[in-house]
Amino acid sequence: MLTIVRRFDLMTHENLDYIERLRTSGYRVTPQRLIVLDAICEIPGHASLSQIIERVAYLDPSIDKSTIYRALDVLCEVGLATETTIEPQGKVYSIAGARHHHLSCRSCGKILTIPDEELGDFQRRMLEKHGFRIQLEHLAFKGLCRQCLRAG
């Protein structure tokens, strides 16, 4: 399997612990799982299920579709990938630990981090449905965090 270029290795060092991540979670590191990871990395933006299946088939046609489904479950399970459902694509996957945004609490000032796709979904939907580009660059999402919510 070493003949295949591991594109994933080109990503930031944050993600290079994939072997560790799998092992410490009790999963084995298999070529199939790494190829699925590669596929997600190679697809720009969100990788839809069908794109991943297509890409994996290209990288290694001998990998069964059921293996892809199982691999995606495992990758999400160990936190190497994240799954989101957006329309009209359906389930999409992306490598965890990329861009992110913040939610700041009015009450205690705590700052929470949310993955990019959670915001992107909303932005994208507004653009698709209403042709309206929401400018989030300087928009702060204010609100109340869990603790302050409980505190009333």
Partner DNA sequence: CTGCTTGCAAACCATTTGCATCACT
Partner DNA sequence: AGTGATGCAAATGGTTTGCAAGCAG
- Judged by the rule CB under 7 A, the positions of this chain that interact with DNA are 1, 19, 22-23, 26-33, 49, 62-67, 69-71, 74, 90-91
Contacts of 100 (CB under 8 A, 6+ apart): 113, 114, 115, 116
Minimum CB–partner distance for residue 117 and a second copy (Å): 11
In this structure, how many other beta carbons lie within 10 angstroms of the beta carbon of residue 8? 19
The residue within the footprint of a second copy, chosen from 26, 62, 129, 152 (CB under 8 A), is 129
**Does residue 46 contact residue 117 with C-beta atoms inside 8 Å?**
yes
- Taking CB under 8 A as the criterion, the residue among 112, 124, 151, 152 binding a second copy is 112
Tell me the H-state helices in 15-93.
18-24, 31-42, 49-59, 65-77
The count of residues interacting with a second copy (CB under 8 A) is 29
Of 54 and 118, the one with the shorter C-beta distance to a second copy is: 118
Which residue number, 77 or 108, has a Cβ lying nearer to DNA?
77
The encoded tokens of residue 150 equal: 């409980």
Nearest residue (CB) to a second copy, 11 versus 105: 105
